[in-house]
Amino acid sequence: MDLLEYQAKELFREIGIPILPSQRIDQPRDLKGLQIPYPVVLKSQVRTGGRGKAGGIKFVENTIDAIAAARTIFNLSILGEYPQVLLAETRYDADREFYLAVVLDYSSGRPVLLGSPQGGINVEAVMEQMQKVVVEQEFSPFYARRLALKMGLQGALIDSISNVVQKMYQLFVQKDLDLVEINPLGISVTGEVMALDGKVSANDNALSRHPELESLAPLRINGQAQEQQFSNQFKGLEWISGEGNIGIICNGTGLAAATLDLIYQAKGNPASCLIIDSDTGYDALGVTSIIEQLEVALDQIANSRDIKVILVNILSSAVTVNAVVEAIASYLLPQVEEIVGDRAERTTGVSLRSRRDRPTNSAAGNPQITANAEYSASSGKRRSTTRSPNFVIRVVGSDIDGVKERLAALPVHWLNNLDEAVARAVSLAKSATKKS
């Protein structure tokens, strides 16, 4: 269960992590009784990323402007989620920003400390300088100081940052959490540290031991729990309706938020976003693998007339990247055969369509794939034969030359640089919109 920012910061306050003066806002008129001085920042409290560029964060100088801004934010959907609560917080000017996290590594069964001297929404910059310390034995301040040193910190910053990391770890253990993240941790010119944004993920299996966390379960909307509402959407992967024409597939909320920001900056119009993650327990949501998630998502995208381009942005291990690329390849391969068959029929006058019900082996040695374009490659479910939109694929962490060759006949664009991938996606979407 992911907590909202204001809930996470309440846990930070209890454990001694510095946070700014703030106030929960349940409706715009609550701002008439605001207890913190202006200027303030109003933040949409949603569990999705990209709220800054979407207009979910606004700086205000007085009560009139604050009420107007709050009305706008309450009526603003961010990746399909409307806020039920806003957070009003004192404005803070940071001299430097850092990224800190304590996360449970399921593969090793150990907590891991993460830190980067670069914080904020630029995920690539954060990742480039990310440092990691595995807590292999009983925790001691040594681990936190080791992380601070690996981050290249010096002087008083070593103590400041390591103290925050120690408290994050204490919270992590006390509440049986899966993740405690501060991004960014702001540092003022005087050396004061401040958690400017925070994320906490509670372990669902441990909630019975922590009624104080269980009470933070999502608010109910029209009689249905918001969390369950999102789970149901994920089962069907109901893409967010809107006027955009670019579908986004990313792994991780932070990467999705960064991708959305870049698309907005490039004057693009995102329509929907699917966040996949091989390390998350999707079995509880009825989705048992990355391939099945993508399969359902791609089927629905193919049936959307509005989506002209699908931007895939995956930054992960070779195993995850291979699974994603192979899932996309399995989805598109029937179209390759359809194109080849059409060309052969025009050249020889002989139709190859009668051969499409026979299984074939892929060049990469995958299990046999049914080549009938009406059926899903891995599950045999019926899928639309609508020609897919352009794909712009940016993956890091694997050798995909074989897949590139197999999909050479289709409008699939492979790019290593995220800025270039976003620019290509926006350009293709605009071109497709003009032609339609």
Three-state DSSP at 133 gives strand
Three-state DSSP at 160 gives helix
Residue 163 scores a pLDDT above 90: yes
Helix H or strand E encompassing 428: helix 418-435
Quick one: pLDDT band at residue 317, thresholds 50, 70, 90?
low
Where would I find the H helices in 271-417? 290-302, 318-348, 401-406
Q: Which segment of 40-49, 82-91, 329-338, 382-391 scores lowest on mean pLDDT?
A: 382-391
Buried b (16+ CB within 10 A) or exposed e, 138-151: ebeeebbbbbbeeb
Q: Of residues 77 and 316, which shows the higher confidence score?
A: 77
Three-state DSSP at 87 gives strand
Query: pLDDT exceeding 90 applies to what percent of the chain?
Result: 38
Helix H or strand E encompassing 413: strand 412-414
Q: Of residues 353 and 213, which shows the higher confidence score?
A: 213
Residue 247 scores a pLDDT above 80: yes
Residue 38 scores a pLDDT above 60: yes
Residue 334's pLDDT is 73
| Whether residue 218 has a cis bond before it, omega within 30° of 0 | no
Quick one: pLDDT band at residue 300, thresholds 50, 70, 90?
low
Reference 413, options 436, 389, 435, 393; nearest CA is: 393
Residue 346 exposure: Cα atoms within 13 Å on the Cβ side: 5
Residue 198's pLDDT is 92
Where would I find the H helices in 75-210? 123-128, 141-150, 156-174
* Nearest-angstrom CA–CA distance, 415 and 396: 10
Residue 280's pLDDT is 41
Residue 275 scores a pLDDT above 90: no
Query: pLDDT exceeding 70 applies to what percent of the chain?
Result: 72
pTM of the model: 0.56
117 Cβ contact list (under 8 Å, min separation 6): 96, 98, 129, 151, 152, 153
Q: Which segment of 107-111, 204-208, 295-299, 338-342 scores lowest on mean pLDDT?
A: 338-342
147 Cβ contact list (under 8 Å, min separation 6): 113, 114, 115, 131, 133, 161, 162, 165
Output the average pLDDT for the chain: 76
Write down all domains in the chain, each with its CATH number in brackets: 18-90 (3.30.1490.20), 96-214 (3.30.470.20), 230-435 (3.40.50.261)
